[in-house]
Structure 1
């Protein structure tokens, strides 16, 4: 009888010790997590000393005519994020040039193209570079339903669908603007742009 009781007590004691050890490991792990995040953030700031200097208001940045046109299409009192192609990207990827694309005979076509690009590039929420952590990939649907995959580069610049930003966190009222070196578009729209180019060359 005593042997059985001793065995039962031994098993209960070992089980209790294992549970207490697991609990201690869990508590230590949970308490250590904030320290790890702080170290990562500090490391990020060591690598990225110029991140804050790139955050500016719209008054200090020229988005170009097409970029301004995109931003003006959005309601100013609602939170939006828009990835605006640079003036060079509009010229290179869409062949839009301020001198001829905004003339009265081509304005409607230009406006339609820019509004289509806006549909691919705008997200109905404010998304600054601070909300994306280095090393993680976040996904949002644009206002047209096109998926946007956003990451942060080592220098604090955002990368959306493999297109790198040149300027981040430009604000116009409730709208956050990131200027990117390319145009976000789906395959159909890209194909139509390419076919327009071939027609022009012919």
Structure 2
């Protein structure tokens, strides 16, 4: 019995073997479904919920203005600081006035966005990045200069005289430090103070 012609030609046989193997791999590649990283997704979702709980409504609003895939460090006022220093409260009917908005408008979003421009830098800033006796200068998104140094007693940072309450929260590539106060320039601080009625100020 004669062997098939292609078996007598080793080059043709090798070419046929490679072709069949390649087709087999290609078919399995198309049939294989991508795996869904459920565990990683659930973990990220949990982190986002935890971050929202830490920041409160206005802090969350501030962070959502930033893209998560770029590096930023945000010095976000605590929920108490938003209320005490900016007059921003939940379930309030009093509009927050600033020089950017009409007197009759509710400009909460505008106020928060201005604070974001003062208190966010496009760099990574953590406690380890600041030397013990160093005062580092960073330029915020609005061009406002932030002077940052370490607390004298205990861990944490001081930003333009405002101390951190909690550090190292993250959302994507954004680093979030919660502040006991508001980082803003003097003109905007004066504008906020003049637009807050005395009888609605928080008690010291």
TM-score for the superposition, normalised by structure 1: 0.65
Superposed CA deviations along residues 20-72 of structure 1, whole A, max 9, x for unmatched, are xxxxxxxxxxxxxxxxxxxxxxxxxxxxxxxxxxxxx6554410100000000
How far 1:114 moved relative to its partner? 0.2
Residues 64, 163 of structure 1: alpha-carbon distance in 2 compared, 3 angstrom cutoff: same
SS of the equivalent of 1:182 reads coil
Root-mean-square deviation (Å) = 2.3
Larger Rg: 2
SS of the equivalent of 2:88 reads coil
Contact 1:123 1:143 in 2 (8 A): yes
Name stretches of at least 5 consecutive residues in structure 2 with no aligned partner.
Answer: 1-46, 96-103
Structure 1 residue aligned with 2:79, among 87, 102, 105?
Answer: 87
SS of the equivalent of 1:99 reads coil
Within 2, Cα distance between the matches of 1:166 and 1:58?
Answer: 19
Q: How does 1:98-113 map to 2 (within 5 A)?
A: 98-100=90-92, 108-113=106-111
How far 1:133 moved relative to its partner? 2.0
Residues 134, 196 of structure 1: alpha-carbon distance in 2 compared, 3 angstrom cutoff: same
TM-score for the superposition, normalised by structure 2: 0.64
Report how many residues are paired.
143
Name stretches of at least 5 consecutive residues in structure 1 with no aligned partner.
Answer: 1-56
